[in-house]
Amino acid sequence: MEPDAMFAQTLFRLGPVVIRDTVATTWLLMLLLWGGAWLVSRHMLTRPGLVQTAVEGAVTAMEDAVRQALPHHAEMVMPFVMTLWTFLVAANLVGLIPGLHSPTRDLSATAALAVLVFLSVHWFGIRAVGLKDYLRHYLSPTPILLPFHIISEITRSLALAVRLFGNMMSLELVALLLVWVGGLLVPIPILMLHIIEALVQAYIFGMLALVYIAGAIQTGALAERPGPDTEQDAEPQP
């Protein structure tokens, strides 16, 4: 394996658009997920089989997690957060297949996801409580904290991108170094760690996105209608 293989490689160009293996792998994953979803949802059985049970269990678990954080806005947020978890699990684990690399070991992909989370926080916050009330929470409890709010929004999104990129990049880098140093089968324990780390990082990324969105909706709701007897969503547990 060449050292350059650790980083995203340009496959071809379409004018100004550069197509790298990250995007190609993402398209492959999209196709696989689409096909898998189509196969699973084509014949939903009353008495589900093993695959249907696993899929229903995964969807139900993700739905329950979202409903715990946002009981009143779960339907609105659910597709975004569940897609984050699904895509990140697939993207993090696809690096285990020889010849393929995780899209999340590319900072451009993780930055794109972080920017999506950043934008979705505001999007869902504004949809939940309205633009005026949502923006008002940046001025609470005092307008002096506005710069800190903005810095916090940027840095946590940046942290999201760098955390996922750094972890996935380091996993592949360690596996590559072990192959170089120890041989072909030596990095297998590290690959086991790769599985765990891929699942953990997907969970962390999606859960943090959910927490950020829930925080935006709740703080906007508090700014809209302050008081101890609010019926809005509960304080999210990260």
Partner 1 sequence: MELDWSTFLLEIVNFLILIWILKHFLYRPVRASIEARRERVAAALEQAEAARAEAEQARAGLEAQREALAQERGEARAGLERELAAERERRLTALAEELEREREKAQALAERERTETERRTQEAALALAGRFAGRLLGAIASPELEAQLIDLVIDQLPDLPEQRREDLATAVAHNDAAEVQVQSAYPVTEYRRQALADALRQAAGQDVACSFSLEPALIAGLSIDAGALLLGANLRDELRFFAEAGQ
Report the interface residues with partner 1, using CB under 8 A. Answer: 7-8, 16-20, 22-23, 26-27, 30, 33-34, 36-38, 40-41, 44, 46, 48, 52, 55-56, 59-60, 63, 78-80, 82-83, 86-87, 103, 106-109, 111-113, 115-116
Tell me the three state secondary structure of residue 232. Answer: coil
Q: Name the residue nearer to partner 1 (CB basis): 63 or 197.
A: 63
Q: Name the residue nearer to partner 1 (CB basis): 40 or 222.
A: 40
Q: Name the residue nearer to partner 1 (CB basis): 13 or 225.
A: 13
Minimum CB–partner distance for residue 66 and partner 1 (Å): 11
Q: Name the residue nearer to partner 1 (CB basis): 40 or 191.
A: 40
Per the CB < 8 A criterion, the answer to whether 69 and 127 are in contact is: no
Minimum CB–partner distance for residue 20 and partner 1 (Å): 5
Minimum CB–partner distance for residue 4 and partner 1 (Å): 11
Minimum CB–partner distance for residue 38 and partner 1 (Å): 6
CA distance 232 to 61: 22
Any residues with CB less than 8 A from the CB of 236 and at least 6 apart, and which? 69, 70, 210, 211, 214, 215, 218
Minimum CB–partner distance for residue 93 and partner 1 (Å): 16
Q: Name the residue nearer to partner 1 (CB basis): 7 or 203.
A: 7
Reference 233, options 63, 68, 60, 65; nearest CA is 68
Q: Name the residue nearer to partner 1 (CB basis): 8 or 207.
A: 8
Terminal alpha carbon distance of the chain: 39
Per the CB < 8 A criterion, the answer to whether 73 and 217 are in contact is: yes
Minimum CB–partner distance for residue 111 and partner 1 (Å): 6
CA distance 114 to 118: 6
H/E segment holding residue 18: strand 17-20
Q: What angle do CA 237, 33, 204 make, to 5 degrees?
A: 20
